[in-house]
Amino acid sequence: MAVFLLLLRLVVFSLSFAINAVQTAPASHAQVHIVYLGHNNDLDPSLTTDSHLQLLSTVFTEPNEAREAILYSYSCGFSGFAALLNSTQATTLSDGVVSVFRSRMLEVHTTRSWDFMGLRLHMHTEQSSQRHLKFGDDVIVGVLDTGVWPESKSFRDDPHYGPVPSSWKGTCVVGDEFDPAAACNRKLIGARYYLAGFESELGPLNTSDGSEYRSPRDRVGHGTHTASTAVGSVAPNASYFGGLGGGAARGGAPRARLAVYKVCWYRDLTGRCSDADILAAFDDALCDGVHVVSASLGSPPPLMPLLSTSTEIGAFHAMQRGVVAVFSAGNDGPDASMVQNVSPWGLTVAASSIDRRFPTVITLGNNASIVGESFLVKAMKNGLVDSSSVFTDGTCTFEQLINRTAAWGKIVLCFATMGGVSSDGAALAVYAGNGAGVIFADTISRKSSQDSFWPTVHVDLYQGTQILNYIRDSRKPTVRISPSKTVVGETPAPAVAYFSSRGPSSVSPKILKPDVTAPGVNILAAWPPKSSPTVIPLDKRLTEWNMDSGTSMSCPHVSGIAAVIKSVHPTWSPAAVKSALMTTAYMYDGTSDVMQAGGTVKAADAFDVGAGHVDPLRALDPGLVYDAGARDHVVFLCSLGYTEAAIRNMVLPQPALDTSCPRGGGGGGGPEADLNYPAIVLPDLGGTVTVKRTVTNVGANRDAVYRAAVASPQGARAEVWPRELAFSARPGGEQASYYLTVTPAKLSRGRFDFGEVVWSDGFHRVRTPLVVRVTNLPDDGVKVVQAANATGDGSQAAA
């Protein structure tokens, strides 16, 4: 009975995975709100905090009430505060500030990958040079996540490190089982934690029996994994349970320094993160002196306005300070428009596979063999049973379990198509029925090799049907499953992970999101040895290295690459770094075919992968970059409806900076489309539109000449003028502008088509995605609205 109750609790917990925001409480009840004021005018942080308390006191009767209500004063990287407010107080404070919004609860988006992308430890080709081998030397990467396990080999001190960079202003703080003197070193140079928002929303942190640590120490494992993926030191002989995926584990920038900001805490079997805590971490990180921020967290649509979320506010001020902010796209694919973290000043990363598989041979009692995928380390030989003998209607869920005797000690064949069950749900149900393991059949577009706490082998529907037919034709079906193997280089890769969230953006559809894709499937990285690889209480396994999948894993890959780029090009802006990654990305797998979009049977497009899969070596020398200055973002903020007064509060003052909003719509695409972004998206093309882009020559040849090649989207005609860009070494000669005119060439409504603009000097290839949706057919919905407005009676007009 105790096991039954525990399983039931796990099922209830699993339902909460879909809940990413705290429900709104009654208006009279105080809840955590964030009041965002913009930049801090370079004021002393103590003066900024005093001004926050003064503003907050205007909605309280007594001054001490304001001090008791405030949770954080954001006073260094930007200006704002988090406080416990009721809805009336929040509304009163909204006058004269940039934004006031409820703090929500976000969630985390939960080796070989670096070799796959060309960043090898020992390179002997012509591409090997000192700048490639620096691997992020003295660049500081701040990771906002669930903390760190400092004893991991990924974070050990290295005698070849120099002193901690003099620009570093951060610290390591003491906490539960976290002694800064022992935990921090010249690799892990900073560690902080933030709890005020979490505890105000969800109550006191549970630290009993090691459930969590009130310190930067990681309980969930997610933060340790992402940090080691981004900047982990070289750790030889790493593998998953003694053999799978073996090799030298390392981050993309193994010489970079690490600063950890623990903002996510163990709750409901995952990491939960408060907006208020995330903003506090951003505030500290920007003043501590990080060069890159990596944040594998978010919340699914409906999305808040761009400057009413912690991640977008933090990224906006990071961009202004020259700090690259990298985010995960989310794990809600393959449906369209589910992408998260969509601001143009952040870098959003989708997830894709690498060329490594874990084939597992299934031998049926009739000696027929089928190759699935799993992470089994020991052979199994058991009876075999169809799920319909164990569960109502054959649906492998805990609720449908009816015959434990039929499952006892056997491998159960489960189908994802029966009841929409997941592999983890099937494993839990089979465990409850005393089964020995699961063969899990799913569609070819969704089949994965995700590990589970209970032995699980993944097959596709065709293979599953073969096994089912054997069971039906056999009086006493049996199965023998061999230990899994590691195979590299025999699988077309990359391919978009089925779970990776897709575009277009549901907030700013003219800004392409995600930006790029990177490895995010079965990534081996460091793990807390006191946490099971699945974090499920039933899982009693322990490991120092874990295989994990998600855009949480792809995000730190790009963070590590960004650190390498910053070490080679320290003066590049975040926009230039993003441009270098996007314009050098590729769309093809190892067979020279277009990447497949997982979760579908189609080829990947820009809404699946952004500009494509990152290429770290080419990104170091992109030839041209699309840079974006303060004025570019002023115009973009105007397009979002912010007033000139609010924009002046948000944008750092600069000499001669024009903070006024332009009159008119620019070149026809609108201010959003004219943002100097390394992608062009026209989601509402009813007629001819012209957009402008400006590129900067960052190549060694200052007198380069680039020529354009345009691939028009189907049903549209795209033309570039001029078709040739000439650069020179004279002042101002490093920049050139071009105009792209796009005209509909079909009658259509609602269909996206994809093309590209490529500039080349014969060596560099600078590719810009072009996305168009022709909308020149009459819209019946518009007709209905127009008729309703004309009659004043929407119901009669619709009838």
Known catalytic residues are 145, 222, 552
The 3 state secondary structure assigned to 577-635 is HHHHHHHCCECECCCCCECEECCCCCECCHHHHCCCECCHHHHCCCCEECCCCHHHHHH
CB neighbours of residue 155 within 10 Å? 25
Residue 342, strand partner residues: none
Q: Are 559 and 326 in contact (CB under 8 A)?
A: yes
Token pair belonging to 518: 């990177």
> Count of alpha carbons within 13 Å of 457, Cβ hemisphere only?
30
> Count of alpha carbons within 13 Å of 207, Cβ hemisphere only?
12
Torsion on CA atoms 375, 379, 384, 389, rounded to nearest 10: -50
Among candidates 243, 255, 294, 265, which has minimal Cα distance to 155?
255
Query: Which position has the token pair 């990298």?
Result: 326
DSSP character string of 123-191: --STT--HHHHTSSTT-EEEEEES-B-TTSGGG---TT--SPPTT----B--BTTB-HHHH--SSEEEE
Output the CA angle 496-497-499, nearest 5 degrees: 130
CA distance 347 to 326: 5
Q: Are 194 and 173 in contact (CB under 8 A)?
A: no
CA distance 154 to 735: 42
Length of the chain: 799
The beta strand positions in 437-576, using DSSP E, are: 437-442, 456-460, 478-481, 487-488, 516-519, 523-526, 545-548
